[in-house]
Amino acid sequence: MKKLFSLIDAQQGKEVITRSGAKVTILSYDRKGIQPIVGLIDNGTREDICTWSIAGIYNKSKTEGDQDLVMAPTVEDFFIVFNPDTKETSNLLVSEETAKKAVSERFHPWSYVKIQHTT
């Protein structure tokens, strides 16, 4: 599921892509008219200039299309410290350094694993 386009997030520099996954570079948010967002869609060998509504809609006659803007997925890393013998686990940790420290404070066979969460 794609994250809905957020004008505020886009203006704050968060990555924007098309619904089909193409990279988008926003050039302007204040063009006069019903499609004030101006940007470039990276189609691999060329960039196409396009305009969108403030809701990120490319074609005003459609409710959803491949060229509509959506927010790019973000990936967060978490770590869990665990003991494979006893099945004990820690809470989620937010840095690998913290996970390594937690493992070093325990006896063998404690280890840790990285989990990636995409939103």
- Those residues whose C-beta lies under 8 Å from the C-beta of residue 99, and which sit 6 or more positions away, are 79, 80, 81, 93, 112, 114
pLDDT tens-digit profile, the chain (119 residues): 688 999 999 999 999 999 999 999 999 999 999 999 999 999 999 999 999 999 999 987 777 899 999 999 998 999 999 888 888 888 888 899 998 998 888 878 889 999 999 88
Round to whole Å and give the CA distance between 14 and 26.
11
- pLDDT of amino acid 37: 97
- Those residues whose C-beta lies under 8 Å from the C-beta of residue 80, and which sit 6 or more positions away, are 89, 90, 92, 93, 99, 112, 113, 115
Provide the domain limits for residue 81: 75-118
* Same domain, residue pair 61 and 29: yes
* Same domain, residue pair 50 and 107: no
* Same domain, residue pair 94 and 108: yes
Structural domain total, the chain: 2
- pLDDT of amino acid 1: 66
* Same domain, residue pair 51 and 79: no
* Same domain, residue pair 53 and 88: no
